[in-house]
Structure 1
Amino acid sequence: MRLVVVSNRVSAPNREGKAGVGGLAVALRAALRERGGVWFGWSGRVSEAPAELPHIVQRGRVGYAVVDITPLDRDEYYLGFANRALWPNMHYRLGLTQFSRAEFAGYMRVNRRFAAALAAIIEPDDLIWVHDYHLIPFAAELRRLGIQNRIGYFHHIPWPPIDVFGALPGAGDLLTALAAYDLVGVHTERDAGNLARSFAEPVGGMPVPAAPRIIALPIGIDTAAFRAAAQHADANSVVQRMISGLGDRPLVIGVDRLDYSKGIVERLEAFERFLVANPDRRGNVTLLQIAPPSRSEVPEYEQVGRQTDETLGRINSSLGDTGWMPIRFVKRSYTRPVLAGLFRNAAVGLVTPMRDGMNLVAKEYVAAQRPDDPGVLVLSRFAGAAEQMREALIVNPFDKFEVAEAIGTALAMPKDERIARWRVLYEGLCRHDIGWWTQSFLDALTASAPLAALPRFSPGVSRTETIA
């Protein structure tokens, strides 16, 4: 049985085999190599007249099948409905949700065209695994083309309550489309419950579709590989320069895309509150915030960039001096080995998104720590990781005083307590790593029951399966 992975963006390895090294990409590539298969999606290129059939690059047992999109597709499907309507809505930000019928039509059109391109190369026994919010209608479009294969979907961002999701025009159509999947995975019990209840209530006067199977399956990281990278990272020149520049000051670290859902402005203000409340700490601790820009073409992301710059300038100018700046802010990305080394040398990992599907930075920070002298994770209770990582200091990111107090608690925590908390967290990362997550989803998708006999939701019933 061949595996077909579908995602919004696909980056084929070059001839030397180098490709993206994100945790999910590594895991999916390993699963594809084991089974043989195809990774299908957008090439990242924009073309005035894209080919109807995918361009396929073969690397061993894996074929990377990519299609281009038009400038209009990019504006309506990607920058428009996916990232100005679905993304803010699913992160509970109704005030930022911008709906356009033209962009919704473009989103559906691109999914239809992607499905037609993949259908041309599908084999009868292929197992299809679709990823994330860009592709909610994908299975429904395949079904319209007569594809009867088993199709699973994993939703990597939060699924909001029905009162939030139902406010999005087109929500009923999206639920109807989602019902075409045989299995839908989300990261947390909260998201699974929200999704189940979405199928239990009519949306916009539309009849309630029969729901797919829903599982709560928290994604992990390649724990062993990330720990190994951290162990060897002290020799890295970037890590050495950063650590030498700190002197004896403890490091507090945050790593996020520059996105309004990550709570970066609120985090900077919480660190400011910590310094104001603890004047003896001024000059003696540094926050390093790494925040590479993303989706800069979307106006809301330009705005969060401006807000961040203004907040950063105010804090550093009011609290810093000639020999010390409270916050070092870097708007660029670093390789995973560099991040692993920085995490390993940070006394506090500050992971405080306002809302997040999972947040793997929290898990990477824990995996990178020294077992005999680990740092402390401060984690938003609105990150999916908080359901698993209860030994972290769990905080409300909307309350900057609470976050400030947690920073102080983390920096003052005795070593024996830090070690005890870290051990429990690390053991959980080892048990539920990225390989476990991948295999668990595929096992659930390939359950031995015939396709028509798989258990499904009934209207009015909120039932989910949990893989723990």
Structure 2
Amino acid sequence: MIHTSFDRLVVVSNRLPVVLKWEHERWTVRAGAGGLVTALAPVLSRNGGVWMGWPGTSEQADVHAPLEEFSQSQGYLLHPVILQTEDVRGYYYGFSNEVLWPLLHGFHTHCNFKLDYWEKYQKVNNRFAQEILQVTTEDDYVWVHDYHLMCVAREINKGLSRRKCGFFLHIPFPGPEIFLKLPWRRSILGSLLEFDLIGFQTSQDMMNFVRCLECLCSNTRVHTEQNLAWIACGDKEVTAGTFPISIDFDEFAELAASKEVSSRTDKLHMLHPDQQVILGVDRLDYTKGIPQRLEAIRQALIRFPDLKGKIALLQVLVPSREEVPEYQALKEEIERLVGEINGQFTEPGWIPVHYLYRSLPRADLVSFYLASEMALITPLWDGMNLVAKEYCVCNYREDGVLILSEFAGAASQLYSDAILVNPYDVNAVTEAIRRAFYMHPSERQSRMRRLRQTIKTYDIHFWLDSFLQAAFDSRPQEVPMAGFSTFLSSIDRL
């Protein structure tokens, strides 16, 4: 039951949940996809809410009229925050993607700590804050999303006006050994303390945040209960919580059982007779561990010749930031590895790695989920990884195996029934592949059934409900989630 102790819910994110495209001398607006939109749209529609964000266009583009027309059809307001091109370059491509993204994922050596990036980041956060103050009242609840907008509450609170603000971080939060390398660490932490509630994906992320505060604030006091922590740091007080995001179970389950997907799945099975398909689905990014995964496939075929001709990796790579040299180099490395492995092992009638570099329609993706006997989800560090959950939900036949990195946030929920691996340990990943290949059908079924039940119980709607309950009731809610040490110890028992 969603709590409605507010006049309106106002969602604030870097981008609006729509795709704007210039077609036939006019702007067209199409609804964006994703679980966040699915969960929030009904709440926003119910109380005439607002979604604020950058429309993804240049400052010269007048998108107000098409967005207003689209808003009327949806029942809630889309409010664009117009940004200058140079500000987008420094705030989004610069500070967000060259500083915060690598830092919060533990890749601090990839960071580019340019002062101009930080100045643009603060400027844009201030711009968002001013728009929020103009559009909202003190009776609204402002829910800010993700690392692009960490300083919004601080900018709002500089004046006399106050807003009740929550924040949810969709990506990991590292410990002080990494986070404190940020030159503006005090400003970021201080800005986060200006929110009323901060949501994290895992208990480990929340405790990392507390540890960073303790390093910079000598009188930090913390009280924890269930998934919530009440934190005092100097004269600042904030509630933090663990709220693992999820997907819409019913939406994916229904699509997987549709005739359209079943037909595509049957065709895929015909292409891989007497083979078990291993699926990898990732956005092009250095955090996803794709070169390590490909090396594990190579080593599996070397160490276990009995797998030759009987497994095939289907790697879907979604294009991302292709204009960045580092990402282009990563793509080239991945394609080199695919070529090497196929050249080394391919036999008539069998190719070990099938590689697709493209975005897929959801129906195609779901058919891949359903046709694959294994999912190999091995990020080096990930906030949650919803692909792992999507794979399980779509596997309604309950004959698949989830091999999951212990550094994915999803591992803290799914550790009991997934096969957890350290993606840096190539031999361990190869052994997990062989174990999954020979796993008895009854064990596959029991594991997948429990995985699907966990995701069904704690779906995207539970996530939304639990966050808003914490925001207005401050009552802890039991969220089944293991700490890092718990599921690490579980690996030793497997």
Please name the residue that 1:177 is paired with.
Answer: 191
Please name the residue that 1:81 is paired with.
Answer: 95
Q: CA deviation at 1:279?
A: 1.7
Following the alignment from structure 1 to structure 2, what is the Cα–Cα distance between the partners of residues 184 and 233? 42
Matched, 1:197 2:219: no
Q: CA deviation at 1:354?
A: 0.3
Partner-residue secondary structure (3-state), 1:185: strand
Conservation of the 8 A alpha-carbon contact between 1:150 and 1:182:
yes
Q: CA deviation at 1:303?
A: 2.1
* Structure 2 gap ranges (5+): 1-6, 21-26, 219-232, 481-494
Mean Cα deviation higher: 128-137 or 282-291 = 282-291
Partner-residue secondary structure (3-state), 2:384: coil
Q: 1:358-390: per-residue Cα shift (whole Å, max 9, x none)?
A: 00111111111134x420000000000101102
Partner-residue secondary structure (3-state), 1:36: coil
Paired residue type of 1:42: W
Mean Cα deviation higher: 148-157 or 51-60 = 51-60
* Percentage of pairs with the same residue: 37
Paired residue type of 2:386: L
Q: In the superposition, relative to structure 1, how do residues 233 and 173 fare at CA in structure 2: closer, same or farther (>3 Å)?
A: farther
Please show how residues 12-31 of structure 1 align to structure 2 within 5 Å: 12=18, 19-31=31-43
Please show how residues 212-231 of structure 1 align to structure 2 within 5 Å: 212-231=238-257
Please name the residue that 1:327 is paired with.
Answer: 353
Q: 1:397-452: per-residue Cα shift (whole Å, max 9, x none)?
A: 00111011101111110011111111211111111000010011011112279xxx
Q: In the superposition, relative to structure 1, how do residues 25 and 47 fare at CA in structure 2: closer, same or farther (>3 Å)?
A: same
Following the alignment from structure 1 to structure 2, what is the Cα–Cα distance between the partners of residues 247 and 323? 10
Following the alignment from structure 1 to structure 2, what is the Cα–Cα distance between the partners of residues 51 and 291? 32
Following the alignment from structure 1 to structure 2, what is the Cα–Cα distance between the partners of residues 191 and 54? 39
Q: CA deviation at 1:300?
A: 2.3
Structure scoring higher RCO (CA < 8 A, sep ≥ 6) equals 1
Q: In the superposition, relative to structure 1, how do residues 233 and 291 fare at CA in structure 2: closer, same or farther (>3 Å)?
A: farther
Matched, 1:381 2:394: no
Please show how residues 36-185 of structure 1 align to structure 2 within 5 Å: 36-47=48-59, 56=68, 57-59=70-72, 60-185=74-199
Please name the residue that 2:225 is paired with.
Answer: none
Partner-residue secondary structure (3-state), 2:410: helix
Following the alignment from structure 1 to structure 2, what is the Cα–Cα distance between the partners of residues 444 and 211? 15
Q: 1:243-299: per-residue Cα shift (whole Å, max 9, x none)?
A: 332233211001110111010111111111111112232222210011111122333
Conservation of the 8 A alpha-carbon contact between 2:166 and 2:471:
yes
Q: CA deviation at 1:199?
A: 1.5
Partner-residue secondary structure (3-state), 2:349: coil
Following the alignment from structure 2 to structure 1, what is the Cα–Cα distance between the partners of residues 183 and 235? 17
Please name the residue that 1:440 is paired with.
Answer: 466
Please name the residue that 1:274 is paired with.
Answer: 300
Following the alignment from structure 1 to structure 2, what is the Cα–Cα distance between the partners of residues 178 and 52? 31
Conservation of the 8 A alpha-carbon contact between 2:253 and 2:396:
no
Matched, 1:264 2:290: yes
Say which of 4, 9, 20 aligns to 2:15.
9
Conservation of the 8 A alpha-carbon contact between 1:137 and 1:178:
yes
Q: In the superposition, relative to structure 1, how do residues 92 and 118 fare at CA in structure 2: closer, same or farther (>3 Å)?
A: same
Partner-residue secondary structure (3-state), 1:83: helix
Following the alignment from structure 2 to structure 1, what is the Cα–Cα distance between the partners of residues 130 and 66? 10
Q: In the superposition, relative to structure 1, how do residues 393 and 125 fare at CA in structure 2: closer, same or farther (>3 Å)?
A: same
Matched, 1:430 2:456: yes
Name the TM-score, length of structure 2 as normaliser. 0.86
* Equivalences, count: 451
Conservation of the 8 A alpha-carbon contact between 1:266 and 1:400:
yes
Mean Cα deviation higher: 259-268 or 109-118 = 109-118
Q: 1:26-45: per-residue Cα shift (whole Å, max 9, x none)?
A: 11212212332000001011
Conservation of the 8 A alpha-carbon contact between 2:29 and 2:66:
no
Mean Cα deviation higher: 62-71 or 160-169 = 62-71
Please name the residue that 1:397 is paired with.
Answer: 423
Following the alignment from structure 1 to structure 2, what is the Cα–Cα distance between the partners of residues 279 and 255? 25
* Structure 1 gap ranges (5+): 450-463
Following the alignment from structure 1 to structure 2, what is the Cα–Cα distance between the partners of residues 303 and 257? 15
Please name the residue that 1:455 is paired with.
Answer: none
Mean Cα deviation higher: 424-433 or 141-150 = 141-150
Partner-residue secondary structure (3-state), 1:46: coil
Q: 1:341-370: per-residue Cα shift (whole Å, max 9, x none)?
A: 211111001111000000011111111113
Cα RMSD, aligned residues only:
2.6
Q: CA deviation at 1:319?
A: 1.3
Partner-residue secondary structure (3-state), 1:152: strand
Q: 1:175-222: per-residue Cα shift (whole Å, max 9, x none)?
A: 111111000000101001001111222189xx9673521101111211
Please name the residue that 1:246 is paired with.
Answer: 272
Q: In the superposition, relative to structure 1, how do residues 16 and 66 fare at CA in structure 2: closer, same or farther (>3 Å)?
A: closer
Conservation of the 8 A alpha-carbon contact between 2:153 and 2:195:
yes
Mean Cα deviation higher: 92-101 or 291-300 = 291-300
Following the alignment from structure 1 to structure 2, what is the Cα–Cα distance between the partners of residues 400 and 165? 28
Q: In the superposition, relative to structure 1, how do residues 192 and 233 fare at CA in structure 2: closer, same or farther (>3 Å)?
A: farther
Q: CA deviation at 1:115?
A: 1.4
Partner-residue secondary structure (3-state), 2:278: strand
Q: In the superposition, relative to structure 1, how do residues 289 and 220 fare at CA in structure 2: closer, same or farther (>3 Å)?
A: same
